[in-house]
A = this chain, B = another copy of it.
Amino acid sequence: MADKDALSMQDDAMRDDALAGRRASSGTHIGFPMGSGAGVTLTDVARAAGVGESTASRVLRSHGSFSSKTRASVLEAAARLGYVPNRIAGTLASTGSKLVGIIVPSLANIVFPDLLRGANSVLGKAGFQSVIGVTDYDLVGEEALISSLLSWRPAGLLVAGLEHTPRADAMLRGAGIRIIEMLDTDGAGIDMVVGFSNRDAGRAAARHLIARGYRRIGYVGHDLALDLRAAKRFEGFRAALAEAGLQVAGQMIAPVPSSIAAGREALDRILHETPDLDAVYFSNDDMAIGGYFLCLSRGIGIPDRLALFGHNGLEVARCAPQPLSTIRTPRVEVGEASARLISSDGPPSIVTLDFELIEGATT
């Protein structure tokens, strides 16, 4: 690979002017074309600056003491040679790495990019790099990812959800680093837990619908075997209905990941099966927006003929002509708070961030 790259890079170098001042090379590294700063090592910089390696290292990390004179010459040499530190070597030599692993089930649902966004912004400011892994909602895949990420010796690991395979659980416990489980507080955590109770969110949704006077309430969801948090919401939802002497008047579960199209189709089907529903609780806003679009298309009056309730508080739900009644979840905040915990000491703990019920125009 290196040689091939060198080849293609040489082409690039030909049409390049910006490199003029950086042609120096250590000469001890084959496989890199002239003009590449990638082969320059700390030793090269130290030599060029006429100082020892350790001094150069101290200067470059502004750690320890050195004269401003040496400082200048080291910095100059580094700049002139186009030195790029090798954090792989640095990490191996020192104790801890500046890598943080983040594992999410999916990137197709904006919820997880939001989570990543929050985490990454805080991590970046603290000098960490995020290494991501996507499980596709597969716990076995998660196990493989955990082991793979752990092999990079990250400073910590952020994982969505509390459920893991036994082996994954053991690896996380034995890793010797901070583990943050996110977005769910309904269950036991391994180390730190940051999120909210999905069960409570489902409960809140049910209570809201009941308070509004709805009694023939249906549920439209997506694959619950995969999305465990959606399953917990549904569970809380049914529990609250039961407390009010009610039960789900009909349900339709699309055996696919959540999507607008799936929500639209599932609502269509449940309305065929159970035409007299007066309200529907959706597994999330994507599904709910699909339902909303169906109602718009069919001229089904909202909320008089049918009420809709979602989950997440996505922008599209809040900006719709009739803002969707839903629950805003603190996704970005969970990411941020989780990232902050990476560098914390202290015992395992649970951080609960509140969700907020949004009374839209669809209930």
With contacts A18-B169, A87-B151, A117-B107 known, is A131 near B130, CB below 8 A?
A: yes
Tell me whether B86 and A151 are in contact (CB under 8 A): yes
Within 8 A of B (CB), among A293-327: 293, 296-297, 315-316, 319-321
Give 5 nearest A-B pairs by CB, closest first: A4-B345, A38-B176, A113-B113, A107-B117, A18-B170
Task: Kindly provide the distance from the CB of A248 to the nearest chain B CB, expressed in whole angstroms.
Answer: 25
Given the complex of chains A and B, what is the CA–CA distance between A70 and B78 in angstroms? 47
Q: Nearest B residue to A260 by beta-carbon distance? A: B319
Tell me whether B107 and A173 are in contact (CB under 8 A): no
State how many residues of chain A have any CB contact under 8 Å with chain B: 92
Query: Which residues on the B side are within 8 Å of A175 (C-beta)?
Result: 9, 36-38, 84
Question: Is A132 engaged at the interface, CB distance under 8 Å to the other chain?
Answer: yes
Question: Is A224 engaged at the interface, CB distance under 8 Å to the other chain?
Answer: no
Tell me whether A37 and B132 are in contact (CB under 8 A): no
Within 8 A of B (CB), among A44-60: none
Tell me whether A316 and B316 are in contact (CB under 8 A): yes
Against B, the Cβ 8 Å flags (1 = close, 0 = not) of A157-180 are 000000000100111011111100
Question: Is A358 engaged at the interface, CB distance under 8 Å to the other chain?
Answer: no
Query: Which residues on the B side are within 8 Å of A293 (C-beta)?
Result: 319-321
Q: A11-B347, A38-B176, A82-B174 are in contact. List 12 more A-B contacts (CB 8 A).
A: A2-B176, A6-B176, A16-B173, A33-B176, A38-B150, A84-B175, A88-B92, A108-B113, A113-B113, A117-B134, A124-B133, A290-B319
